[in-house]
Amino acid sequence: MRVQRYDKALPLREPVLLPNGFLRADGYLTRTGIFVYRDSNGRTVRELRTPDEVMSRETVDSFALVPVTNDHPPELLTADNAKQYAVGAVSEQVQPDGDKLRASLMITDAKTIEAVQAGKVELSCGYTADVVAEAGTWNGQRYDARQTNIRGNHVAIVDVGRAGPECALRMDAADGAAQEITMDPVMMELGGAQYAVPADLAAEIAKMLEAKGLSPTMDAGKAAPAASADLEAAKADNAALRAKLDGLTSAAAAKAMREKLILEIREDMAVSDLAKRLDCAVSESDTTAQKRRKIIAKLDAAIKLDGRSDAECSGLLEGLLHARGEQAAAAARSGAVKTDASADDDSDPAAAARAKMIARYDGKEV
């Protein structure tokens, strides 16, 4: 299962302010070890990051030149949104240093530099990883799962980070006390839409999707620190997030959310199957609405879809499919298979019905 993770923070030490106003300093980006995550039911899962995974060339290279952000953005960074969130960048040279990855960072945003100088001095990396459900022990400690294929996405300047104070910007290699991280809700992405769901529901939906050959993206939500001293602060941090679940703690609301998700997933599967039957090229990353529009264009390229709502497109597609069915039935009754040209003949009842349907959606009188 592919997930998104945010590491715990590591503090800055003696960053250097350059003559041009930029700020440069060294920092530990992440480390090896066992990290504790908490799901929405309060259940904890201990995930192992082995030295082989963290120090692999692919992982190390993935953190080179990634953007630096002021706090974690609400989404993974891409070429489309990096300009909105980036306040600097990690250097090209990322190197293993003991059980951590070390690199220089350049911060170029004035407000972020002011925040650093005011004491906002910890780092927290955002990354994706595959999580393998595999229990065992490592250095005498128990773990429930193992992270693989770790890939860096960004490094955030935060007030309190998630990999321990040792992973902070600094001018030396001094260690600090590491803290493990916890995560609470899970985000599931399907067809461009995201859903906040309990971990057990996400696993059930993911299993159903994988059985259909699809690959949903899982995104771990905000976490609470594992340390008992931080428990109250963790509850406060999670309060706003839990409020957004709109009553998922009740059985009735949870059932409603489950049914809504299943209906949306079934709808997307049905549209995808239709596209396949019609030999219409769609992408797994397309939303259900985008797939519908491509199918409509495949069935009738003359129909203009600009400005039409998703509901209108859904109705258009139903009308086109209905007309197509009537056309096929009429051809079967007459014992002849019409060509594309004859199918558009105004003398054909199905074609006439189709034309009226399109006219109604265009606001024309029929």
Each domain of the chain, given as residue ranges in start order, spans: 2-185, 300-361
Q: Minimal CA–CA distance to 12: which of 23, 26, 22?
A: 26
Write down the pLDDT at residue 34. 86
Q: Return the structure tokens found at 88.
A: 């600097």
Instruction: Write out the DSSP string of 205-227.
Output: HHHHHHHTT---EEEE-----SS
pLDDT, mean of residues 99-110: 93
Write down the pLDDT at residue 294. 92
pLDDT, mean of residues 283-290: 86
Q: Which of the four pLDDT bands, split at 50, 70 and 90, describes residue 248?
A: very low
The alpha helices in the chain, defined as continuous H runs, are: 51-54, 57-63, 82-85, 110-117, 199-211, 231-243, 251-277, 288-299, 310-334, 340-343, 349-361
Asked if residue 48 lies in contact with residue 147, where contact means CB atoms within 8 angstroms, the answer is: yes
What values do phi and psi take at 244, rounded to 5? -70, -10
Lowest mean pLDDT among 56-60, 171-175, 332-336: 171-175
pLDDT, mean of residues 111-115: 94
Write down the pLDDT at residue 211. 66
